[in-house]
Structure 1
Amino acid sequence: MSLHSHGVGQQKSSLVLEAAQRAAAYIESSRERGVFPTEEALADLKSFPRELRDGPVPAGEVLAMLDELGSPATVAATGGRYFGFVNGGTDPAAAAAAVLAGAWDQNAALPVMSPTAALLDEIAARWCLQLLGLPETVVAAFCSGATIANLTCIVAARDALLRRAGWDLDRYGLAGSPPLRVVASEEIHASVSKALRAAGIGTAQVASAPTDDRGRVLVERFPPVDDLTLVLLQAGNVNTGHSDPFGALIPMVHSKGGWVHVDGAFGLWAGASPSQRHLVEGVDLADSWASDGHKWLNTPYDCGIVICRDPENLRRTMAFQAAYLDGDARRVASELGLQMSQRARGVEVWAVLASRGRAGVAEMIDRSCGHAARMADMLEAAGAQILAPQALNQVLVRFDDDETTDAVLAAVQEDRTCWAGGTVWRGRRAMRISVCDDSTTADDITAAAQAIIRCWKRRGDAPALSTRSDHAHE
């Protein structure tokens, strides 16, 4: 080893140690500050250099700048009181694994590039299928998030449906192909609509399936389907937490030869809990699924999961050929998704599942559901309106009218005790509360509920706070 390479190695290891120490200090302090950064911290972001310098800057100074300017201006999304956008926290084992995996810096595209990454990827994917209650014959792969997972599955579905109709997509592409039809829940997530557009499917091809007051597709009003129809359902409505009636809809679609894809970014994980899986009953009958690790499973960002019933439908769409590639491997990550080069996301998923086991994952799901139920109880007892019966980890709440609801939202975000976002439900403004961070405690729920009600009471409209705690769940 040359003196230069030895010196670079020493510098790198020293910096990684310092980064780990700074990261640990950041984690320890996350509960001691407001969820959203202060105005001062936001103003300090202006101190980051905007122009690229001509000469080098010592790496230690760059790391210090990141920590001293960047850390205070981050959102404390893993501190137990962040309830916005269905963002998950970070499991301790996964956080530690991410540090080690970052040092490994493995490209998981091909098994030969990293035997460790390939093995952990395969094991983690298989464990996910077992936990979700999906057939062992299906295939799962990791990607950057549910948006890409949805796109991957939609493209695979598109290709499979056209192939069944006798269309040679590889040769002719989409131009002149038999017209596909899509039936999507009117409550389908925006990421699915984005994925349809990217897959070359226009809005004129999409029929909307009406839903009930909880966001579930109405079976009796479901549009007609045929063997060129892609049906898009969801596990876990992003506002209400409720899921579509899979057991009634999927067999009906299959009897006509259609394909059913389920967007289950967070809701699919209800299948990992014996006490919650009835809420997604029948979801295992679908043809493809999309989910996330970085939401309810609490892996670090980013981690999505592509799942397809027939592995060949996914491989056929995502396969590629090059003279320098080894085609003998049984499982090739880059042939199961859109990306070729990709980070080893399976490492962190493996760490979460290895450390928690079946019971630990189920407990994590149940704990979030219990916290959400307690939050809904406290807000309802104070006089707020719960717009849909609480389900899974979601709470949808409204304060009097649109103007008041928006004012409460703004006040809560300014207060910084917790953070929740706004939404529109059935034409009315609402606050959406998502409990996805496993570090959230019953005390966090109490503090957050009290802060929300306090912000409401300042307007002089709310009754006194009740202390009901029927669903307390440490």
Structure 2
Amino acid sequence: MSRLFRSAADHAAGYRRSLPDRPVGVPIDQSALLDAFSGPLPSAPSPPEQVLADLLAAAGPGLVATAGPRYFGFVIGGALPAATAADILAAGWDQNAHNAVTSPAAIAAEAAAGAWLKDLLGIPPSASTGFVTGCQAANTVGLAAARHQVLADAGWDVERRGLLGAPPIRVIAGDERHATIDRSLRLLGLGTDVVEPVPAGPNGAIDLGSLRSLLRAGSPGPTIVALQAGNVNTGACDRLREACELIHRHGGWAHVDGAFGLWAAAGSATRHLVDGVELADSWACDGHKWLNLPYDSAFAFCARPDVHAAAMSYAAAYLVGSGGAPAGSELTVESSRRARGFAAWAGLRELGRDGVEALVDRCCALARRFADGLASAGFEVVNEVVLNQVLVAFGDDARTDEVVAAVQADGTCWAGGTTWRGRRLMRISVSNATTTEADVDRSIAAITRLAA
């Protein structure tokens, strides 16, 4: 087993060493890739060493260098060395982080990492933290807690009685909210038609005057408002202090989707963008984006731990270890859970407070370097670059899509396409801890060459 694990770790480390120089993405023959993995399941067992060799051969041609320094798509970060090593240990230890009985160490790591995260993000230390898979799960947990409390305030026990016959819930969210908010509403039985959209301002943050008008116009009753820290296209953050105060004056619950933008709180040049973040009732934030933790890693925070647990926890006669402060699966949508808190703890220890701040500040500076370089080359930067997101047009929509496709096929860097305000644009997200000025300049040169 030691030889097998060492071989896997050596291959993984070799792959990571190759990232600065390997093509970021190249056209893939998906059918050939599927053929390499397919075929009948062998009747006889296979030696683990052969299985590992076969996996390396089959997967190699289909790997995208998302963990590398010139991948700028989908707000995907890299994976810090200590966090990656901790994840290797977590796989070896094979812990079920259900509670402190199934894995005392896993729960202790989550408690410690959760305290550090709240301190970095400006979230009250009394809030609870659930370690989940991504912001889809984190938003679902936050909105489930919101659903529980706003209906409890109206005298309705949604966990026991469900939604049939329940008082109607108002859900107010920005026009430019992330699509995971809508899917969470579907999963929670509220549906997407319930959303009352708030128009966005010039750079994608919600318009506070419109939010105020919506809250005043609606009938009093259960109300949830989904705010955003980090518009998925522009990086813009809603004005959280004013919005939360307004929502609470109307008796509503303020949930913040901060998948990547909540990390603005850790940057010296950006924390003003999330002023008032501590006033919200729940928050969702990713670890595998800007914190550069391995996939998958995200956090669901709630200002009311009792509400968080009421919305998520369950009891069974065979289960032991409940009681005390809510932890583990009492705060997540999963029951059996991998121990992702080890990697979070290790990544935070590797960076430290100063390292997290430097990471956020550096990525924002590199995003501005991207914007300045592409603008100087004659291309149109469409958004105000406030965080790590850059939107670029290369002429009309068709030409922009052609440039995006050429960049993805070239392999020097990888950036995605998006539609914002009715226009097709290249979307550049800078969130990798290993990206340098040289990586940005090399990518600008490649984009300029291909656009020509």
What interval of TM-score do these two structures reach, taking the shorter chain for normalisation?
Answer: over 0.9
Q: How does 1:67-78 map to 2 (within 5 A)?
A: 67-78=56-67
Is 1:237 aligned with 2:226? Answer: no
Give the AA of the match of 1:428: R
Deviates more, 1:223-232 or 1:266-275: 223-232
Is 1:306 aligned with 2:306? Answer: no
- Point out 4+ residue stretches in structure 1 off by more than 4 angstroms: 38-42
Deviates more, 1:357-366 or 1:53-62: 53-62
Given that residues 28 and 61 in structure 2 are in contact (C-alpha distance below 8 angstroms), is that contact kept between their aligned partners in structure 1?
Answer: no
Mapped to 2, the partners of 1:162 and 1:107 lie a distance apart of 33
- From 416, 420, 445, give the equivalent of 2:415: 420
Mapped to 2, the partners of 1:179 and 1:141 lie a distance apart of 27
Task: Assess, with a 3 A threshold, how the Cα gap between structure 1 residues 45 and 28 changes in structure 2: closer, same or farther.
Answer: farther
SS state of the match for residue 310, structure 2?
Answer: helix
Is 1:135 aligned with 2:124? Answer: yes
Mapped to 1, the partners of 2:138 and 2:28 lie a distance apart of 36
Is 1:167 aligned with 2:156? Answer: yes
Is 1:255 aligned with 2:244? Answer: no
Task: Assess, with a 3 A threshold, how the Cα gap between structure 1 residues 375 and 200 changes in structure 2: closer, same or farther.
Answer: same
- From 199, 209, 230, give the equivalent of 1:220: 209
SS state of the match for residue 32, structure 1?
Answer: coil
Mapped to 2, the partners of 1:170 and 1:384 lie a distance apart of 53
Given that residues 38 and 73 in structure 1 are in contact (C-alpha distance below 8 angstroms), is that contact kept between their aligned partners in structure 2?
Answer: no
Which entry has the higher C-alpha Rg, 1 or 2?
Answer: 1
For 1:207, the equivalent position in structure 2 comes to: 196
Give per-residue Cα distances to partners, 1:410-465, cap 9 Å, x unaligned: 111111100010000100100000011111111110011111111111xxxxxxxx
Shift of 1:399: 0.8
Mapped to 1, the partners of 2:206 and 2:252 lie a distance apart of 17
Mapped to 2, the partners of 1:297 and 1:170 lie a distance apart of 34
- From 67, 84, 96, give the equivalent of 1:107: 96
- From 286, 289, 294, give the equivalent of 1:295: 289
Shift of 1:116: 1.3
Mapped to 2, the partners of 1:14 and 1:245 lie a distance apart of 54
Shift of 1:58: 1.6
For 1:123, the equivalent position in structure 2 comes to: 112
Mapped to 2, the partners of 1:307 and 1:33 lie a distance apart of 38
Given that residues 37 and 74 in structure 1 are in contact (C-alpha distance below 8 angstroms), is that contact kept between their aligned partners in structure 2?
Answer: no
Is 1:378 aligned with 2:373? Answer: yes
Given that residues 110 and 118 in structure 1 are in contact (C-alpha distance below 8 angstroms), is that contact kept between their aligned partners in structure 2?
Answer: yes
- Aligned residues, how many? 446
Q: How does 1:88-103 map to 2 (within 5 A)?
A: 88-103=77-92
Mapped to 1, the partners of 2:30 and 2:314 lie a distance apart of 47
Shift of 1:208: 0.4
Runs of 5+ consecutive residues of structure 1 not aligned to the other structure: 1-11, 458-474
For 1:322, the equivalent position in structure 2 comes to: 316
Cα-Cα RMSD: 1.4
For 2:402, the equivalent position in structure 1 comes to: 407
Is 1:440 aligned with 2:435? Answer: yes
Given that residues 305 and 326 in structure 2 are in contact (C-alpha distance below 8 angstroms), is that contact kept between their aligned partners in structure 1?
Answer: no
Give per-residue Cα distances to partners, 1:54-97, cap 9 Å, x unaligned: 22222111101111231232000111000001111111111111
For 1:154, the equivalent position in structure 2 comes to: 143
Given that residues 45 and 73 in structure 1 are in contact (C-alpha distance below 8 angstroms), is that contact kept between their aligned partners in structure 2?
Answer: no
Mapped to 2, the partners of 1:398 and 1:328 lie a distance apart of 55
For 1:26, the equivalent position in structure 2 comes to: 15
Give per-residue Cα distances to partners, 1:123-157, cap 9 Å, x unaligned: 00110000001111111120011000101111110
SS state of the match for residue 112, structure 1?
Answer: coil
Given that residues 404 and 416 in structure 2 are in contact (C-alpha distance below 8 angstroms), is that contact kept between their aligned partners in structure 1?
Answer: yes
Shift of 1:332: 2.6
Give per-residue Cα distances to partners, 1:269-293, cap 9 Å, x unaligned: 1101222101111122111000100
Given that residues 240 and 390 in structure 1 are in contact (C-alpha distance below 8 angstroms), is that contact kept between their aligned partners in structure 2?
Answer: yes
Give the AA of the match of 2:206: V
- From 387, 391, 398, give the equivalent of 2:382: 387
SS state of the match for residue 208, structure 1?
Answer: strand
Give the AA of the match of 1:243: C
Give per-residue Cα distances to partners, 1:348-399, cap 9 Å, x unaligned: 0100111211101100111111110100000011111111111211101111
SS state of the match for residue 395, structure 1?
Answer: strand
Give the AA of the match of 2:301: I
Shift of 1:179: 0.3
Give per-residue Cα distances to partners, 1:97-129, cap 9 Å, x unaligned: 111111111111110111211111100011000
Given that residues 139 and 308 in structure 1 are in contact (C-alpha distance below 8 angstroms), is that contact kept between their aligned partners in structure 2?
Answer: yes
For 1:279, the equivalent position in structure 2 comes to: 273
Given that residues 95 and 299 in structure 1 are in contact (C-alpha distance below 8 angstroms), is that contact kept between their aligned partners in structure 2?
Answer: yes
Give the AA of the match of 1:91: L
Task: Assess, with a 3 A threshold, how the Cα gap between structure 1 residues 346 and 21 changes in structure 2: closer, same or farther.
Answer: same
Runs of 5+ consecutive residues of structure 2 not aligned to the other structure: none
Mapped to 2, the partners of 1:368 and 1:42 lie a distance apart of 37
Mapped to 2, the partners of 1:103 and 1:263 lie a distance apart of 33
Deviates more, 1:58-67 or 1:187-196: 58-67
Mapped to 2, the partners of 1:448 and 1:111 lie a distance apart of 47
SS state of the match for residue 107, structure 1?
Answer: coil
TM-score (norm 2): 0.96
